[in-house]
Amino acid sequence: MVRQTRRVIVDHDSSGKAVVTADGPTPNVKLRQATGITSTQLWVTDRAQPDLSSSEDMSLRDVGVAPPANGNILRIVDFPPVSEMKAVDNAAMLKEMGLSADSHGGAASRSAFMHRTKSIDYAIVLEGEIDMLMDDTEVHLKAGDILIQKATNHAWVNNSQANCRIAFVLIDAQEPPAWKQTPGH
């Protein structure tokens, strides 16, 4: 079930006064077929210091999960319980997310959801609970928790019986030295 997110954009009018330029459901919502996860893209930039003079709705840009080079993404993701999901094909999931087939670092995957992005991610759990699996450990998060992730191999797995909603800010970063290593070798 796709849940709408109200998005309000505040900008300047032609006289320089602050005004609301958009208020309503976020238009760029994708139900990812490979996983059943819903991703609502609220905004995207492609530079560290974005040009604020444009009136373009940046949420409508077609990008994968990772932010554009030198850019960032704000999105909300709804994770249904894994008990309600069909079997996940990692290759299909990675392709749909716009990630390369080796985006989990070449290590044996603990989960079909495993992936990584060249970004620093701020994950804010808005509702529900979820487990973030890493190469050989995991962390349990619940509503109100905030996770800061530095380009690690991971999988989001909702083992609860209710939806989990997370707000993500992904900021493009330099490739970490750890990516040159293969975990477990």
- Residue 141 has which token pair? 């998060």
92 pLDDT higher than 60: yes
User: Is 44:59 a contact under the CB 8 Å cutoff?
Assistant: yes
- Going by C-alpha positions, the residue among 138, 156, 142 that lies closest to residue 36 is 156
| Mean pLDDT, residues 84-113 taken together | 76
- Going by C-alpha positions, the residue among 127, 135, 137 that lies closest to residue 158 is 127
Q: Which pLDDT band, with edges at 50, 70 and 90, does 107 fall under?
A: low
Which position has the higher pLDDT, 184 or 91? 91
* pLDDT score of 185: 41
108 pLDDT higher than 80: no
* pLDDT score of 104: 63
- Distance CA(20)–CA(123), nearest Å, equals 27
Which position has the higher pLDDT, 103 or 168? 168
User: Is 99:65 a contact under the CB 8 Å cutoff?
Assistant: yes
Torsion of CA 108, 114, 120, 124, to 10 degrees: -140
Which position has the higher pLDDT, 115 or 142? 142
